[in-house]
Amino acid sequence: MQQDFFKKFNINPLKFDQSGLKWEDLLAISTHYDTIKPDLAAVGKFAVESILKCKNVHSINYRVKDNEHLIEKIIRKTIADPCRRIRIDNYQEQITDLVGVRALHLFKEDWSAIHEFMMDSWNLAEPPKAYVRHGDSPRIIEYYKEKDCEVEEHPFGYRSVHYLIEAGLGKEKLKVEVQVRTIFEEAWGEIDHVVRYPYHKDKDMLVRLSSILNRLAGDADELGTYMRYFKTYNDQVEASHQQEIESKNQIIDSLRQQINQLTLDENQLQSLTNSLDALEGTKQNIKKPKQEYLWLDSFMDSPLFKNLSHQLEKIVQSEGFQPIEVSEEDFAIMENAQKELFQILGNPEKLNRFLSDGHVKNLMNQIEFVEPKKS
């Protein structure tokens, strides 16, 4: 049994002997662990139900560590630090992820709201820890620190924020490790764990392939952030455009009524002129979305975004997007027409004759209102 266990988890028997661990002691821990697993499961369910109250959590699950992985982790921790002694009376304090919860979110920026929820809702046994990848934006790292997170660069590019919370159904509180990450980060982590970690960390080809997959997962997260930013900005543009259409339709309607009832004097002329000016000058300044998109910077600097930008530039420069060319003769005609219009507006008699012209009246009656879109 012991040898099969070592082979399954790629444990060096010599290092195990040097660690001072006894197989019999590990079996005793496993037997004791069976007695507390039902309580651990109940605490895990309680934590899941509580965290699901945060609307930014897309999906969540929990697990109670199985006996084999508990023993395997005790062995690895002891081999890594021979001074550490993990016994039957302290393993629950030494192994802090007996109950593990994974809370997943869709967009990187959703983490901020989840973090606030976790900090407000739970007692933490230690400060949250944000694992980042080499090359991550200094702005993001600083943001984690501003949120009272310890930041640690993970050697294999693992990204996640861990919270060690104290939870329980009664007076006794148990530690639960809550890992918060995006769906793409979860997908990479699961694949990496099954294929490479922790038993094949020295396989160079697997390390390289996992690194590529990690980069693709990061690109997917950043592209998702950009898509959300683009949608938010585009929605604001459309809403502003809709408001502009409604405003101009109101001005046109008012203008039509003024013209139909017109007996010109100076005040009416000024009112008509002001209405036309307003129709010409109504503009909406589109503001950028208020929400912070900290992870957008990384995407803007990525090869993926630069390639997309290059493709868009090629489309814009294609024949289908050639600029409209106006000849000098057409431009002169438009300029003269504008001058004549302002001369008419400045002379009540000319304006009255202009508006009384049958052709002009027909044109005014053919004005089409742009109907606003119904939401």
* Window from 10-19, 162-171, 296-305 with minimum mean pLDDT: 296-305
Question: What is the pTM for the complete model shown?
Answer: 0.67
**pLDDT at position 370, please?**
47
Strand partners, 60: 103
For 302-318, how does the pLDDT look when each residue is reduced to its tens digit (9 = 90+)?
666 666 666 666 666 66
Q: How far apart are CA 346 and CA 351, in angstroms?
A: 8
Contact 284, 98 (CB under 8 A): no
**pLDDT at position 275, please?**
64
Res. 235: pLDDT tops 90: no
Which burial class, exposed, middle or buried, applies to 244 when counting CB atoms under 10 A from its CB (0-12, 13-18, 19+)?
A: middle
What percentage of residues in the chain have a pLDDT greater than 90?
Answer: 43
Res. 334: pLDDT tops 90: no
**pLDDT at position 351, please?**
62
Mean pLDDT taken over the chain: 81
CA distances, 298 to each of 1, 132, 139, 208, 249 (Å):
49, 13, 10, 22, 43
**pLDDT at position 245, please?**
79
Average pLDDT of 264-279? 65
Average pLDDT of 40-61? 95
Res. 290: pLDDT tops 90: no
**pLDDT at position 90, please?**
93
* Domains of the chain and any CATH numbers: 2-201 (3.30.460.10), 223-365 (no CATH)
β-strand 99-105 against 59-64: which pairing, if any?
antiparallel
Res. 46: pLDDT tops 90: yes
Contact 166, 173 (CB under 8 A): yes
For 129-139, how does the pLDDT look when each residue is reduced to its tens digit (9 = 90+)?
999 998 888 98
Res. 273: pLDDT tops 70: no
